[in-house]
Amino acid sequence: MSEAGKEPAASASKEDWGSISKVVNAPLENVSSDASWISVIGMWLTFPYSLLQAIFAGLCGRIFVCISIGTCCIPCSEQLCSAMGSVLRGRPLYMAWTWWRYVLSGLIALIANGASRLALFQWEWRAFGSGRYWWHGEGVWCWSYEDCERILKSQQVRHSAFGCVQACVPDLFATNILIFLSNTGSSDSEWSAIRRALHELFLDPASESYQSRVRQLPAYIAKDWPNPTLEGMNDTTRLQKLVSKSVFYAMFGKWIDDADALVLTGWRTNATYFILPRLVQRFIFNLGIKKVKKLRENTVGIVQKHGLQDKFAAMNDSLGRWKRAPVVKLCDEIMYVIGFAGIGGTSAAVESCAAFLQAKIPKEASSKAIKWGQYDTSAKMVAKYKENPDNYIRETCRMDPPVTSATGVLKEVTEVTLAGKNIEMPAGVLNQYVVSMANRDPAVFSDPEVFNADRSNLTKALTWNGAAFSVEEADYPRVCPGRYLSMDIAKAIINHGLGVASGTEFVTV
Ligand code: HEM
C-alpha cells in the first residue's frame, strides 16, 4: 500500500542517529536523598516494622491521612513525620523513613481497593474529608470538574513527574517527553515545537495519508483476526497486538508482524511500573526499570528494522533550537509518548469496551463504581454500540478512563484544606488533576455511575485531556493529539469483533 503524505528530506547517518542504549543508560537525574541506596537498604532492614504500620494505614483512612500529612498530637508531626513534611523540606535523608511506610501503605490501600486506581483515589479523597483537595505521593490532588477544567484550559507548568511523584529519568522515562514540558503559551516553546512536528508528521487527521491509512485498517485487522466473536474480545493480548499494529500503521504505513506487535504491547502490560517512585523501583532491584529500558530499546529497534530513521531525522530538523542530539533521542521520546499514551491508552479503551459490551466489569475497574442501568445484558449493550459507536466508546471511557489523571505543578502559593487543616502550599509543589473523578462529578454528569451513552453532554468528559470532539475542544491546549486516531482504531477493532460492516463512518475533522 502506498504511503502518501510528506516524505522526509533529511537522512540520518549512523553517527547522527546515535545509540539508544547510551540514551537509556545516561546518568540518572533528580535522585532525591530518600531514594538513595542508603535509604533503600534502610527500607529493607526495617521492612517488617514499616509493613506493620502500612497495613494499619492502608486499611484505615485516618491513619493513612496521619502518615500522609501528620495529623496526630505529636508536636510538629506535620513537618517531621509525614510524607508531605518530607516534600516541603526537600526530601532529606533523615525523613526517608516516612516514605518507607508511606509507599507500602499506598500499595496496601490499592490492593484493598481491588487494584483499581479510581477506587483508590476515591478512598483517599473520602479519607481526607471529601473536600476540594487531598494529598497523595508528592503533591496535592484535585478532582472537581471545575478545577480540572480550569487547569486544562490554562497554560500548565510541568516537571519530569508522573502520577504525582518525580519521574525516574532517564531510565524509566525518557527525558523531555511531551507530557513533562510546559505549555507556556509561546509558539516558540519546546512543547509547541515538538507537538506541532508530531501532529504534522504523524497525527494529522486531515491529511490524506492519515485518512487513507485509517481506511485500510479494517482490512488489515480482518486478515489478522479471522472468525471474530464477541467472546474473542476477552483475549486481551490479541486486542493489544491489534492496537499496536494499528497505531504503528496509522503513523508509519507499516503493518508490523506478530512478534513486533507483542513487543509493543509492553507499553500496556508494563503500566504498573510507570507509577512506582525510584525508592520502590530500587527496593524491587530495578526490575521494572530494566523491563522498561528493554522495551524502549526494542521499540526503537522496530523503527530501525523498518528503516524509519529518516522520518525522525526530518522531524528533528524541523525543531529549530529544540533539535535533539543524537536523533535516536528524539525517536525514543516520540515512541515513548506514542507507546505510553497511544498504545497503552487505546488498548485500555478497547479492553474496557470489550468488557462493557458483555456487561462485565473491566479488570482494573471497581464494581462499586459501575452500574449498567437499563443496559444490563450483553445483547442490549451490543445493540447500543451499533446504534452509535462513537458515543458508546466515549461513555465507556468516561466511566473507565484509560488515563486516570495527570501531573502539573502549582503555579502560585495556594491555600489548601487537607483533612480540616488549612495549609499554604508553596508554588512548585506537584498538583495532580484527576480526570477520572471529574468525569464523575455529579455537578456535570447526572447519575455519574450509571452507563448512559445517550447523555447530551458526553463530549464534556475530560477523558482525552479536555472536552475532546466538542465545539470547545480548541480551548484545551493540551488535548490529546491522538484523540481521533484512538477513536478510529477502537472502532475498527470493535466493529470487526462484532461483525459490523467496515463501511462505518470514521471520525474526521
Ligand atoms: C483512548 C485512548 C487515549 C486516551 C484516553 C488519551 C488520553 C490522553 C491524556 C489524558 C493525555 C494527557 C496526559 C498528560 O498530560 O499527562 C494525553 C496526552 C497525549 N496523548 Fe493521548 N490518549 C489516547 C490515545 C492516544 C493516541 C492513540 C496517541 C497517539 C498515537 C496519543 C498521544 C498522546 C500524546 C503525544 C500526548 C501528550 C500531549 C501533550 O502533552 O501535549 N494518545 N492523552
Q: CA 461 → CA 413, 440, 452, distances in Å?
A: 29, 9, 13
356 C-alpha vs ligand 1 centroid, how far in Å? Answer: 22
pLDDT value of position 402: 97
Q: Is 217 exposed, middle or buried (0-12, 13-18, 19+ CB in 10 A)?
A: buried
**Whether the predicted pLDDT of 259 surpasses 80:** yes
Listed in sequence order, the residues at least 6 apart from 151 whose beta carbon sits closer than 8 Å to its beta carbon are 142, 408, 431, 433
Q: Does ligand 1 have an atom closer than 6 angstroms to the CB of 481?
A: yes
If one residue of 162, 196, 246, 403 were mutated to test the ligand 1 pocket, choosing by the most ligand atoms within 8 A of its CB, it would be 403
> What is the pLDDT confidence band of residue 12, given thresholds at 50, 70 and 90?
low
Q: 343 alpha carbon to ligand 1 midpoint, in Å?
A: 10
Dist. CA 483 → ligand 1 center (Å) = 7
Cα separations in angstroms, 335 against 178, 195, 330, 383: 11, 13, 8, 37
Q: Is 482 in the pocket of ligand 1 (CB under 6 A)?
A: yes
Residue with cell 478512598: 123
Q: How far does Cα 19 stand from its chain's mean position?
A: 27
- 11 burial (CB, 10 Å; 0-12 / 13-18 / 19+) is exposed
Ligand 1 nearest atom to the CA of residue 349, by list position: 1
Q: Measuring CA to CA, which residue among 400, 356, 361 is closest to residue 497?
A: 356
Residues, the chain: 509
Mean pLDDT, the chain, rounded, equals: 94
**Residue to mutate, 176, 364, 480, ligand 1, most ligand atoms under 8 Å from C-beta:** 480
Q: What is the dihedral of CA 216, 219, 225, 231, to 10 degrees?
A: 90
Distance CA 509, CA 506 (A): 10
Contact 4, 199 (CB under 8 A): no
Evaluate if residue 509 carries a pLDDT over 60. no
Residue type (1 letter), 484: Y
Task: Give the number of the atom of ligand 1 that is nearest the alpha carbon of residue 191.
Answer: 41
**Pocket of ligand 1 contains residue 478 by CB under 6 Å:** yes
Instruction: Give the three-class secondary structure for 288.
Output: helix
Beta pairing partners, 406: 433
What does the pLDDT look like over 40-84, one tens digit per residue? 999 999 999 999 999 999 999 999 999 999 987 776 667 778 999
Task: Say yes or no to pLDDT of 5 above 80.
Answer: no
The closest alpha carbon to 271, from 283, 294, 288, 259, belongs to 288
pLDDT given for residue 483 in this prediction: 97
- Ligand 1 contact via 195 beta carbon (within 6 Å): yes
- Is residue 140 predicted with pLDDT exceeding 80? yes
* Global pTM value: 0.94
Distance 488 CA to ligand 1 centre (A): 14
Strands 161-162 and 165-166, how do they pair?
A: antiparallel
Smallest CA-to-CA distance from 203 within 247, 268, 266 is with 247
Per the model's pLDDT, the better-predicted residue between 6 and 67 turns out to be: 67
Report the C-alpha gap between 505 and 488 in whole angstroms.
9
Phi/psi class of residue 434: alpha, beta or left (left: φ > 0; alpha: ψ in -120 to 50)? beta
As a whole number of Å, the end-to-end CA separation of the chain is: 24
- Whether the per-residue pLDDT at 38 is higher than 80: the answer is yes
Take atom 12 of ligand 1 and give the residue whose Cα is closest: 465
Residue type, 103: V
CA atoms of 162 and 274, how far apart (whole Å): 8
Strands (DSSP E) contained in 59-164 are: 133-136, 139-142, 161-162
Mutate-to-test residue for ligand 1 from 202, 409, 465, highest number of ligand atoms within 8 A of CB: 465
Specify burial of residue 508 (Cβ count, 10 A radius: 0-12, 13-18, 19+): exposed
Residue type, 387: E
* Ligand 1 mean position, distance from CA 463 (Å): 9
Mean pLDDT, to the nearest integer, of 10-34?
Answer: 90
Atom index in ligand 1 nearest the CA of residue 407 equals: 16
Q: Is the CB of 214 under 6 A from ligand 1?
A: no
C-alpha closest to that of 371 among 446, 468, 457, 435 = 446
Distance CA 63, CA 144 (A): 25
Separation of CA 102 and ligand 1 centre (Å): 30
Listed by start position, the domains of the chain span: 14-30+113-180+187-498
Residue whose CA is closest, atom 43 of ligand 1? 480
Q: How confident is the model at residue 138 (pLDDT cuts 50, 70, 90)?
A: very high
Contact 430, 407 (CB under 8 A): yes
Say yes or no: CB of residue 402 within 6 Å of ligand 1: yes
Ligand 1 atom with the smallest distance to the CA of 464 is 7
346 lines ligand 1 (CB under 6 A): yes
Dihedral of CA atoms 187, 189, 193, 194 in degrees, nearest 10, equals -140
Residue type, 346: T
Give residue 364's pLDDT.
85
Ligand 1 site, residue 342, Cβ cutoff 6 A: yes
Superfamily of domain 14-30+113-180+187-498: Cytochrome P450 (1.10.630.10)
- Determine the distance separating the centroid of ligand 1 and the alpha carbon of 99, expressed in angstroms: 30
- HSE-CB for 61 with a 13 A CA cutoff: 15
Give the residue-averaged pLDDT of 173-199: 95
Is 70 exceeded by the pLDDT of residue 37? yes
Q: Which atom in ligand 1 lies closest to the alpha carbon of residue 462?
A: 10
Rounded to whole angstroms, the Cα distance separating 275 from 106 reads 11
The pLDDT of residue 186 is: 87
Residue 80 CA: distances (Å) to CA of 67, 99, 106, 116: 10, 12, 19, 31
Closest ligand 1 atom, residue 195 Cα: 41
φ, ψ at 238 (rounded to 5°): -60, -45
Nearest-atom number in ligand 1 for the CA of 178 is 40
Quote the DSSP letter at residue 416. Answer: E
Identity of the residue numbered 492 = A
- Count of Cβ atoms closer than 10 Å to residue 376 Cβ: 12
Instruction: Categorize the per-residue pLDDT at 307 as very low, low, confident or very high, splitting at 50, 70 and 90.
Output: very high
DSSP string of 345-401? Answer: HHHHHHHHHHHHTTT---TTS-GGG-B-TT--SHHHHHHHHHH-HHHHHHHHHHHS-
- DSSP character at residue 225: S
Among 413, 412, 407, smallest CA distance to 431 is for 407
Q: Sorting pLDDT into bands at 50, 70 and 90, what band is 11?
A: low
Q: Which atom of ligand 1 is nearest to the CA of 202?
A: 30
